[in-house]
Chains A and B, each alone.
Chain A
Amino acid sequence: MSSVAIVTILSAFLASAVEFVEAVTIVLAVGVTRQWRSALIGVGAAVVTLALLIAVFGSALALFVPIGVLRLVVGGFLMIYGLQWLTKAVMRAGGARAKHDEAAIYAAEVAELEAEVPVPAQGMDWISFTVAFKGVLLEGLEVAFIVVTFGASANLLGPAVLGAALAGLLVVAIAIAVHRPLERVPENAMKFVVGVMLTGFGTFWSGEGIGIDWPGDDLAILALLAGYLALALLGVWVLRARTGRTADRTLAAGGGIPRS
């Protein structure tokens, strides 16, 4: 297996794991507060919809769009998407933005669902179905986007789907075992790594799309990943130093530590 295929599996795995954790939080909240059966039917419907989207768009992109155009467009989108993930992860790691809190999200979701109309005694609970369907579809759409773009650009749809499927199985298995939101998953660290990977691959492919002959061909991907990783770590260090100074000044002025 090539190193690009391994990195594709890893990227799809990490990106999908983050999204699956968020989807599992929503499904758990619906199942626990309302009705498991309708929630699980909603999950099934969303998974089928996502599988169809990946199959149709993945094959259509690979078959009908010239590889140069494909790499430019999807590489560009990957770069944009990766940069969004990476900058947020840098700000969270640097203390300039609140970290993602699955426990708080779960509590808010439960409170919202408890305020809804009571669960019907018989038949489907459409609120459970809709909330679970929407949650899994929206979180899964991000996974589908990454899987399709990665798969189509590098002609590695199989490894990308494999990485996403492994992440899904692992997250669902852990959720069934612990039966509560997965709070201890290092979501920010994972988003940080995925952000670096998406930005690096996106830069490489979109660059190829506009006609850049990267020195060393595929090896240039490793150089881009190392470069983005080093700069992102530098960004975290700078932000930590800055937020530390701001907190010191606020304390010296007699105030509390500001929340970002």
Chain B
Amino acid sequence: MIRFVRSFLHFWSDFLIGDRLELFVGPILALVGAALLLRAGATGPLVGALLFGAIALIGAASIGLATRR
């Protein structure tokens, strides 16, 4: 049973997270930050542009990390 649960979790973490954790955690943090900015009163277009920029930066940083490894 434990082996099944372990392999089940391993499969889904491999499927969703893959070998680059920053591409999983980064977008989640970007969304949390965007939601906080909206709550603080920032306008939709501004937060949308910042979210786009954050996602692009995360992608660029991940490529930078992967090519350095």
CB under 8 Å from chain A, chain B span 1-38? 15-16, 18, 20, 23-24, 27-28, 31, 34-35, 38
Q: CA A86 – CA B62 in complex, angstroms?
A: 11
> What is the total of A-B residue contacts with beta carbons within 8 Å?
89
In the complex, what's the smallest C-beta–C-beta distance from B42 to chain A, in angstroms? Answer: 10
A214 partner residues in chain B, CB cutoff 8 A = 44-45, 48
Q: CA A23 – CA B2 in complex, angstroms?
A: 30
Contact in complex: A211, B38 (CB < 8 Å): yes
Contact in complex: A76, B28 (CB < 8 Å): yes
Closest residue of chain A to B39 (Cβ to Cβ) is A211
In the complex, what's the smallest C-beta–C-beta distance from A246 to chain B, in angstroms? Answer: 10
Classify the secondary structure of B's interface with A. helix
Contact in complex: B48, A210 (CB < 8 Å): no
Which of A83, A96, A235 makes the CB contact (< 8 A) with B27?
Answer: A83
Contact in complex: A212, B44 (CB < 8 Å): yes
Interface size of A as a range: 35 or more
B31 partner residues in chain A, CB cutoff 8 A = 72, 76, 206, 210
Tell me whether A248 is interfacial, beta carbon within 8 Å: no
In the complex, what's the smallest C-beta–C-beta distance from A90 to chain B, in angstroms? Answer: 6
B66 partner residues in chain A, CB cutoff 8 A = 87, 91, 96-97
Tell me whether A203 is interfacial, beta carbon within 8 Å: yes
Contact in complex: B58, A235 (CB < 8 Å): no
Contact in complex: A84, B35 (CB < 8 Å): no
Interface size of B as a range: 20 to 34
B44 partner residues in chain A, CB cutoff 8 A = 211-215
Q: Tell me which of A24-32, A220-228, A249-257 binds B.
A: A220-228
Contact in complex: B67, A239 (CB < 8 Å): yes
Tell me whether A79 is interfacial, beta carbon within 8 Å: yes
Q: CA A227 – CA B48 in complex, angstroms?
A: 12
Q: CA A227 – CA B55 in complex, angstroms?
A: 11
Contact in complex: A212, B38 (CB < 8 Å): yes
In the complex, what's the smallest C-beta–C-beta distance from B65 to chain A, in angstroms? Answer: 10
Q: A211-B38, A227-B52, A239-B67 are in contact. List 18 more A-B contacts (CB 8 A).
A: A72-B31, A79-B27, A79-B55, A80-B24, A83-B58, A83-B62, A90-B59, A90-B63, A96-B66, A142-B15, A203-B51, A207-B51, A210-B35, A212-B38, A214-B44, A215-B45, A220-B48, A235-B60
12 sample A-B contacts, Cβ–Cβ < 8 Å, listed by A number: A83-B55, A83-B59, A84-B20, A87-B20, A91-B67, A96-B63, A96-B67, A212-B38, A214-B44, A214-B48, A227-B56, A242-B67
| A positions within 8 Å CB-CB of B | 72, 76-77, 79-81, 83-84, 86-87, 90-91, 96-97, 141-142, 145, 199, 203, 206-207, 210-215, 220, 224, 227-228, 231, 235, 239, 242, 260
